[in-house]
Structure 1
Amino acid sequence: MSYAELLKDLKARKFAPLYLLQGEESYYIDLVSDYMEKHILSDAEKGFNQTVFYGKDTDMLQIVSAAKRYPMMSDHQLILVKEAQTIKKWDELIAYAENPLRSTLLVFCHKYGALDKRLKVSKAIIKHGVVLESKKLYDDKVPAWVNDYLSDRGYRTDPKTCALISEYLGNNLEKIANELDKLLLNYPPGTPIGMKEVAGNIGISKDFNVFELTAALGKRDAFKANRIINYFAANPKDHPHVVVMGALAGYFTKILIYHSLKDRSRQHVASALKVNPFFVGEYQQAASNYPPPKVWEIISLLRSYDMRLKGVNNTGNTGQEELMKELVFRVLN
């Protein structure tokens, strides 16, 4: 079951006796468990009928014993088991999972991984309960997630801003949501959230960032590219070479893929490069400026400089700032 489907059922008070919230992405696990903790029972019911266990401080037999109790002055009791990934002896749940008490909502929050579906206990939970698989979002899907997050809260944005947020904050949805929530405190719903707003609140420069660098390189705008790389060199903590090199490698790899495409229609290119159609024109221009042999040369340069930045084959012990400036010069020439 997806997060949206599960939340819809919970809001409609369609309950199952067992829930297994599991996966690498903790964001959705926390959202569901927080909703259940706040909304399943009334404040008056919670005192006798809501229990929270932590996996490292309990065992399965204690959890099962609590689950077998009947609610007091309520239709349901809620048992939340947080940090369930630390629980041992899951086989002790099998008998209960095969015949769970309908008045109990037993919820396991299993972060950073999943139970083996081949286990008997997993099969019992799947048969009699609900399983949420909370998977990590692929990097290329994060900009769309950012756009949806802002849209759901009544804000407008643009593809470039979403892509920039994704590039700098990664694919940790909890971290992104926290940063966006802090940003939105400063603006009423309906406000367009663009590069200016992000720069002022998330700490990403509007003019000096990896997207502006790749755009300048794609246009072969040496003046702008050098201004940006000099800014990066002066602010290395804000622009670590690992992030910059990753962005450059991704950018020129996409240009190489573009050269291999026979169908260069806007939608096909966007799909092949896994980018928003908004960016297709930029890659078309970059591909015209960098023929395939030059792109292969740049990718080779990126590999070489990546090793040197990590201290391998860096004869003369050239500093990281100078290496990045040197790399940009060789890309452009």
Structure 2
Amino acid sequence: MIDIWKQIEKMQFSPIYLLYGIESYLINETKQKLVKNVLTDEEMDFNLANYDLEETSIEVALEDAETFPFMGEKRLIFLHNAFFLTSEKGKQRVEHNLSKLEEYIQNPPPYTILVIIAPYEKLDERKKITKQLKKHASILEAKKLNEIDLKKWVLQKVAENEVHIDDDAVDLLITLAGTNLMMLSAEIDKLSLFVGVSNSIKGETVENLTSRSLEQNIFSLVDKVVHRKISEALRIYYDLLKQNEEPIKILSILANQFRLLYQTKELQRRGYGQQQMATYLKVHPFRIKLAAGQAKLFSEEELKRIMLLCADSDYQMKTSGMNKIMIIEMLLFKLSKSA
């Protein structure tokens, strides 16, 4: 991913790109880098085109790709929703003559950059067209970033803003803001503006200025419960209420966090590694790392008992008519005694 971006920024373009995966932010960021570096503002009206392959046949799009650019040196063509690269069924609204695309891949015109976008988790590797693209195209797999790649991405975003960030500040930023790239990007822009060009983002600045995600606030709440700091846990809870978070939503995420601790602990017992657990549970590896740290502070029996307490509170919210805010207050007191 980083290598493709560096090549684009150095104006080293491939005739064909394949962008696939479910991390839409990475796909959109790659598109923006291509537009910025391939075309001038004046050329965009004439040499930039977007096609939805669920609505338009590949033949029409390729005819445009084979047309000489007007008032410029390059054409940039985006082909969205290339569902024919997957094994998914039921999305085909138009017929595609894929032999035309196969011919294009073998001999792409030098004046066009063709970007094929498949926003799906997996491609069908058995298909001939998939094999050809994997062989001839520059490929970006837009998957959820692991911890190492996430840190690299943060460092690159910070560098693009012409500022620096301390190593400990990178870890703290990810811990506080979470792993959603759009939220992280917004936080990086805010921190960069605060410190100014050529200055450094330090841990203290991250601590004071970073907006916590709801999940991170729940993580912090659990941490306070674990260490029997009930007054601090309640303060986080009341802050969430001031932010108009619904008690039932807070309870749901709280229960999910304890469920994740239990699942992580059980999978660790079975010998799973961090990446294996992330894949199995379908959560970000960084969340698994944080959960593993908290799970060490509980026995399996304690976590089972806590999940039952959460389930009982959920039942009370939906059936008893009790004050929902008070139900969670009572739950937090019970949890602090169980921890």
TM-score calculated relative to the size of structure 1? 0.71
Q: Look up the match of 2:34.
A: 36
1:165 Cα offset (Å):
0.8
Matches within 5 A, 1:4-43: 4-41=2-39
Q: Distance in 1 between matches of 2:254 and 2:238?
A: 13
Q: Distance in 1 between matches of 2:220 and 2:112?
A: 54
Q: Look up the match of 1:83.
A: 80
The unaligned stretches of length 5 or more in structure 1 are: 263-270
Q: Is 2:206 the partner of 1:194?
A: yes
Q: Which AA in structure 2 matches 1:154? A: H
1:154 Cα offset (Å):
1.3
Q: Distance in 2 between matches of 1:165 and 1:85?
A: 33
Q: Look up the match of 2:257.
A: 247
TM-superposition CA deviations, 1:118-146 (whole Å, max 9, x none): 333222222322222111346x7797467
The unaligned stretches of length 5 or more in structure 2 are: 84-92, 272-284
Contact 1:164 1:211 in 2 (8 A): no
- What number of residue pairs does the alignment pair up? 300
Q: Look up the match of 2:143.
A: 135
Shift in alpha-carbon separation, 1:97–1:308, aligned structure 2, 3 A: farther
Shift in alpha-carbon separation, 1:253–1:219, aligned structure 2, 3 A: farther
Q: Is 2:327 the partner of 1:329?
A: no
Q: Distance in 1 between matches of 2:334 and 2:82?
A: 49
Q: Look up the match of 2:310.
A: 302
Q: Distance in 2 between matches of 1:61 and 1:179?
A: 42
Q: Distance in 2 between matches of 1:210 and 1:30?
A: 30
Q: Is 2:171 the partner of 1:159?
A: yes
Q: Look up the match of 2:119.
A: 111
Q: Which AA in structure 2 matches 1:34? A: Q
Q: Distance in 1 between matches of 2:148 and 2:246?
A: 24
Q: Report SS of the residue matched to 2:50.
A: strand
CA RMSD, 1 decimal: 4.0
Shift in alpha-carbon separation, 1:305–1:260, aligned structure 2, 3 A: farther
Q: Is 2:289 the partner of 1:275?
A: yes
TM-superposition CA deviations, 1:174-203 (whole Å, max 9, x none): 2431343244323323132322111xxx37
Q: Look up the match of 2:234.
A: 226
Contact 1:22 1:113 in 2 (8 A): yes
Q: Distance in 2 between matches of 1:195 and 1:145?
A: 20
Contact 2:255 2:307 in 1 (8 A): no
Shift in alpha-carbon separation, 1:143–1:226, aligned structure 2, 3 A: farther
1:114 Cα offset (Å):
5.6
Q: Look up the match of 2:48.
A: 51
Q: Report SS of the residue matched to 1:131.
A: strand
TM-score calculated relative to the size of structure 2? 0.70
Matches within 5 A, 1:301-320: 301-306=309-314, 309=317, 311=318, 314=319, 316-320=320-324
Q: Look up the match of 1:61.
A: 59
Contact 1:33 1:109 in 2 (8 A): no
TM-superposition CA deviations, 1:28-74 (whole Å, max 9, x none): 212222122121245676676x2222327743222111222345686
Shift in alpha-carbon separation, 1:317–1:302, aligned structure 2, 3 A: same
Shift in alpha-carbon separation, 1:68–1:204, aligned structure 2, 3 A: closer
Identity of aligned residues (%): 20
Contact 1:216 1:225 in 2 (8 A): yes
Q: Which AA in structure 2 matches 1:106? A: L
1:103 Cα offset (Å):
3.5
TM-superposition CA deviations, 1:241-279 (whole Å, max 9, x none): 13333334435655x4699599xxxxxxxx998426xx9
Q: Distance in 1 between matches of 2:333 and 2:149?
A: 31
Q: Report SS of the residue matched to 2:108.
A: coil
Q: Distance in 2 between matches of 1:259 and 1:63?
A: 50
